[in-house]
Structure 1
């Protein structure tokens, strides 16, 4: 019994070690906050550990855990009426002095802000489909919906992102809308 538990723990530890960065990135894009993302991943991994026998036996353990992550985010979002994305001076890992790197940082900040304005289902569809580069069927599986719902939510989300980024491009002094 002890060997099985030790093997299971080691298998789970290896899974977490190799998947943590990607799960954290996905959670960050879903939540818009580093600390919330870390909490979200930890909560999802706790649930995955409890069900590790089923998770590890699944055809795609990554998809299983991603689904847990998306469900955990939805559960948390339902508890709050509105999420806010805050930007502080520590958000950029390295302060750039190069004009191009600063422009890129500004673009990322605008994108993060625009993502935070999307409704949760649209944000999930956009992040999973285009940032995580999952197929429509994989996104549908992660979100627990049909492929058609993924297509419509992603299309609506992209349209809102384009509009928000065009508006922010004009108001942020970047000249014409992008």
Structure 2
């Protein structure tokens, strides 16, 4: 990696946003730190090749690593500096309720919701990122939103009335 300053600037600028996404994907601060760290290690190794779109590379790496964890693989624990609040909600009560409800979803359901509604990807883009069909994305989204409504009915405005 020849452009160390460019990589360092990227990590400083985008690290908190990446950490928030990782937290939403994993539902656990420590796993989120591991996920971001693993993705950044890969980005550092390939920085010269990805320096035109490093955020897309790091996010895709995080999504794929999270999928690998579904399949039972784990990374060694690592550390990452602290970061901003993981869920972008203004009301702390809503944020805590949403975090608790997301933690009770399956990892796949949580990942689909994060990609669809936090990362604002389409069903087709989400399917491509996760290597599943668009129909599976629709089904998991529907089931996850239904489960969120059951787990936290007070979030009905955030989840939507009918899906």
Q: For each residue in 1:35-84, what CA deviation from the matched residue of structure 2 results, as whole angstroms up to 9, or x when unmatched?
A: 32122101111122223344335xx543322121012223334338xxxx
TM-score (normalizing by structure 1): 0.66
Hey, what does 1:86 align to over in structure 2?
none
Kindly indicate whether structure 1 or structure 2 has the higher relative contact order, using CA contacts under 8 Å at least 6 residues apart: 2
Distance (whole Å) between structure 1 residues aligned to residue 93 and residue 121 of structure 2: 26
1:61/1:141 Cα in 2 relative to 1: closer, same or farther (>3 Å)? farther
Q: TM-score, normalised by structure 2?
A: 0.72
1:83 aligns with none
- The whole-number CA distance in structure 2 between the counterparts of 1:49 and 1:144 is 25
Structure whose alpha-carbon radius of gyration is higher: 1
Matched, 1:50 2:48: no
Segments of 5+ residues of structure 1 without an aligned counterpart are 81-92, 94-100, 170-177
Does the CA-based 8 Å contact 1:136-1:147 persist in structure 2?
yes
User: Does structure 1 retain, via aligned residues, the 8 Å contact 2:21–2:114?
Assistant: yes
2:103 aligned with 1:107, yes or no? Answer: no
Which structure features the higher share of helix residues?
A: 1
Aligned length: 141
Matches within 5 A, 1:88-127: 104-127=91-114
Q: How far, CA to CA, are the matches of 2:14 and 2:129 in structure 1?
A: 16
RMSD of Structure 2 on Structure 1 (CA)? 2.7
- Does structure 1 residue 32 correspond to structure 2 residue 27? yes
Structure 2 gap segments, 5+ residues each: 74-84, 155-160
Aligned equivalent of 2:58: 65
